[in-house]
Structure 1
Amino acid sequence: MGEKYLTLSELNIEGQFLGFLGKKVGKYKHLQLAIPAGNIKIKIPKYLRSSLISSLVPGEQIRIDAISKLNPRNQLKLQPYQIQAIGFCPLDNPPPPPQAKIMVCQKSGCLKRGAKALLSDLEKTLGDRGLSDKVTIEHTGCQKRCTSAPNCALILGKQQYKKVHPQAIASLLEHHLST
């Protein structure tokens, strides 16, 4: 980690492995660990990455042997040198993420042309049909379709629908979520 880091101590951390984190799929640099104090993110050394990605399963109990170091900004850094599985404890069933997402443009052009009314109409329609808990409504920036404002896009899995009426969105959602 460099000579500017002050080595504090060696430590062992045991916790439940939650998963890998990284910007690209398959190129994970960090792992997430659940410990009694909360969740922590630990950077995996390069020499351990390939073996860990193929062997660790979310929900597994793991032990991390690491060296704690203090950087010049007085931030604690963990440098693991050994990570091993010590048992398996199934993860609590986390709530499944919403399968559908509605993105509504909130830029000034769309707002002037009725984005607020569209948003309230969407929320009312979804609430009437009992779909509001199965869908996330995301406020976005410009969707680059200003000529057809107000813009909203419905994403169902890998399908994307644009410029759809709120009643049609509710029907599409009911059809998608029933299958």
Structure 2
Amino acid sequence: MGDKYLQLSEFNLEGNFLGFMGNKPKKIKYLSLAIPSGDVLIKLPKKLRSCLSSSLNIGERINIYGVGKLHRYKGTIKLKAYEVTKISDEQVSHSHADLPTQPSAKIMVCQKAGCIKRGGQGLLSQLEQTLCDRGLLDKVTIEHTSCQKRCSSAPNCILMLGKKKYKKNCPQAIASLLESYFTTRE
């Protein structure tokens, strides 16, 4: 039959330690890490669990090396650490200066079955191609969402520029809105 997990790649994450998680109250199994894109749960091997429980404090800056695996059927990614290191204060100040700012423009594309059947995948590829042609792909975050509750007008795509929402736009209109948004901000 084969394994249900496919090994994706190794990862190197840096963030703030939020605490330990487990199925039972005093049994540590996962480490919770705050990174710029959100909170992440990372499974700890048994060898690391006992030494980390006594040495890490909540809010500390840590660096985690590990392996990411993809569940073949569910499509979820499982992260497992093999090394956890603390980051000193000097390293933290240097790393904050190097981090790029988060893009304030976001495109949310519905990935439910109804939207996919009505051309959602084509919309996504057209959108990526148009943004790439105009050099805007690195300035925008494309997020795959669940149902946006607008199934009658599928395929659904929402463009968020700061606090404004734009709905029912074609890829060329989205690209021109993004160009005008970024030129006014600079």
Task: Give the TM bin, normalised by the shorter chain.
Answer: 0.5 to 0.7
3-state SS of paired residue (1:92): helix
Question: What CA distance in whole angstroms lies between the structure 1 residues aligned with 2:101 and 2:143?
Answer: 18
* CA deviations over 1:1-36 (Å, ceiling 9, x no partner): xxxxxxxxxxxxxxxxxxxxxxxxxxxxxxxxxxxx
- CA spacing shift, 1:89–1:144, aligned 2, 3 Å: closer
Within-5 A mapping of 1:22-171: 39-41=15-17, 74=50, 76-78=52-54, 89=93, 91-171=96-176
Question: Identity of aligned pairs, percent?
Answer: 58
CA deviation after TM superposition for structure 1 residue 177, in Å: 0.9
Question: What CA distance in whole angstroms lies between the structure 2 residues aligned with 1:167 and 1:155?
Answer: 15
CA deviation after TM superposition for structure 1 residue 131, in Å: 0.5
Question: What CA distance in whole angstroms lies between the structure 2 residues aligned with 1:177 and 1:105?
Answer: 24
- CA spacing shift, 1:133–1:74, aligned 2, 3 Å: same
CA deviation after TM superposition for structure 1 residue 160, in Å: 1.0
Higher helix share: 2
Question: What CA distance in whole angstroms lies between the structure 1 residues aligned with 2:172 and 2:133?
Answer: 11
Q: 2:181 aligns with which of 170, 176, 179?
A: 176
- CA spacing shift, 1:131–1:42, aligned 2, 3 Å: closer
Alignment RMSD (CA, Å): 3.2
3-state SS of paired residue (1:96): coil
- CA spacing shift, 1:75–1:144, aligned 2, 3 Å: farther
Q: Which runs of 5+ in 1 are unaligned?
A: 1-37, 44-72
Q: How many residues align?
A: 113
CA deviation after TM superposition for structure 1 residue 109, in Å: 0.2
CA deviation after TM superposition for structure 1 residue 75, in Å: 7.0
Question: What CA distance in whole angstroms lies between the structure 1 residues aligned with 2:172 and 2:101?
Answer: 25
Question: What CA distance in whole angstroms lies between the structure 2 residues aligned with 1:138 and 1:39?
Answer: 22
Q: Which runs of 5+ in 2 are unaligned?
A: 1-13, 20-48, 61-88
CA deviation after TM superposition for structure 1 residue 76, in Å: 3.8
TM-score in terms of structure 1 length: 0.54
Q: Tell me what 1:61 maps to.
A: none
Question: What CA distance in whole angstroms lies between the structure 2 residues aligned with 1:106 and 1:42?
Answer: 31
Question: What CA distance in whole angstroms lies between the structure 1 residues aligned with 2:137 and 2:159?
Answer: 14
CA deviation after TM superposition for structure 1 residue 135, in Å: 0.7
TM-score in terms of structure 2 length: 0.52
CA deviation after TM superposition for structure 1 residue 89, in Å: 4.6
